[in-house]
Amino acid sequence: MPEQQSEPKAATDIKIEETHTLIPRLRKVHIGAAFVWLGRGAQDMRACPAASLFYGFCFCAMGLLITAVFERAYQYTSALTSGFLLVGPFFAMGLYELSARRERGDGCRFASSLTIWRKNAPNIGVFALVLTVVFLVWARASLVMFALFYTNEIPNLSGFLNQLIRLENLEFVAVYVAVGFVFAALVFSISVVAIPMMLDRKADAITSMFTSVAAVANNPGAALVWAALIALLTIVGFLTFHIGLIFLMPMIGHGTWHAYRALVEPPQTNPSSSNSG
C-alpha cells in the first residue's frame, strides 16, 4: 500500500516542476523596494555614463521631435507624448543590457547594447507589436476624447498642462485621466519585467508578459510605487523641456533591470529563498 501511494505523489511533483519551468518563481518585496531599484539604476548610470547618457539623449530627442513635428496639430501631441511612455520599455533594451553586463562584471560595452535585440528578436518583435497596437488604440481613443469632451480650442502641450493644473475642463480631464490610467496600467503590468526576462532567459513573449502581470499581482504595493516613480520622473523630464529625460530615463531603464532581478527568482535557485525584501 505505501508503494502504491507514492506514485501519484511523484506525478504531482513532476507537474509542479514543469509548471515552474514555464512561469518562474516570483519573489515578494517590501513596498519601498522601488527606491532601491532606482538607486541601483543611478549607480549603473554612473558606472556607464557615456552609454547610458546616449540613450538618455535618444529619449530627449524623441520628445523634442514629437513636440516640434506636431506643433500645429496639438490634438496629436498629447496622444504621441503618452504613446512615448507606452513604447519606452522597448527602447530601453540597451540599458537593460548595460546593467546585465555590469552585474556579470563584463564592463560597459556600448556596441553590444545596440544589438542586444538580436538575442531574442522574434519574441521581442511580438512584444513590440503588442505595444504598437496598444499605442495605436490609445492614440485613437485620445482623439475621440478630445472630439467628444474638450470644450475649448485645443491647446499645445504646455497649454494643456496649464489647464490641468488650473483644473479647467474638469469633465474632459476626468475622462482623459481615467482612460489613460487603464492603458497605462495595462502596459505597465505586461511590460514591467517582460523584456528583461526575454533578454535574460530567451523566454517567449507570452510567458514573459504573463510573468510580468503575475509579478505585479504578487507585489501590488511595490509595483504601484514603482509605477508612480516612473510617472513622476517622466513628468519632471517633460516639464524641463525634455532635458531631464537625458538623466532620468537611463535611471528608470537601469532600475527596471533591478526590478526584474528582485521580482523574478533566478533559475536553479533554492525555493526556500524565494522570499526577498
Looking at the 3D structure of the chain, how many domains does it have? 1
**Residue 21 domain-assigned (yes or no):** no
- Higher-confidence residue of 208 and 235: namely 208
Has residue 218 got a pLDDT over 90?
Answer: yes
**Residue 44 domain-assigned (yes or no):** yes
**Residue 13 domain-assigned (yes or no):** no
Residue-level pLDDT at 64:
82
The range of the structural domain enclosing residue 226 comes to: 28-264
Mean pLDDT of 1-11: 41
**Residue 11 domain-assigned (yes or no):** no
**Residue 5 domain-assigned (yes or no):** no
**Residue 14 domain-assigned (yes or no):** no
Q: Average pLDDT over the chain, rounded to whole?
A: 80
Among residues 185, 190, 76, the alpha carbon closest in space to that of 141 is found at 76
**Residue 15 domain-assigned (yes or no):** no
**Residue 172 domain-assigned (yes or no):** yes
Residue-level pLDDT at 71:
62
**Which residues share a beta bridge with 264?**
26
- Higher-confidence residue of 51 and 15: namely 51
Residue-level pLDDT at 113:
75
Torsion of CA 277, 247, 85, 185, to 10 degrees: 20
Has residue 229 got a pLDDT over 50?
Answer: yes
Joined together, the cell numbers standing for residue 276 give 526577498
- Higher-confidence residue of 64 and 203: namely 203
Our measurement of the distance from residue 268's CA atom to the centroid of its chain's CA atoms, rounded to an integer in Å, reads 26
The residue whose grid cell reads 497605462 is 184
What share of the chain has pLDDT > 90, as a percent? 42
Q: What are phi and psi of 70, to 5 degrees?
A: -105, 30
pLDDT band per the 50, 70, 90 thresholds, residue 275: very low
pLDDT digits (tens, 9 = 90+) for 68-110: 766 666 556 666 666 676 677 878 899 999 999 999 888 887 7
Among residues 133, 135, 161, the alpha carbon closest in space to that of 237 is found at 161
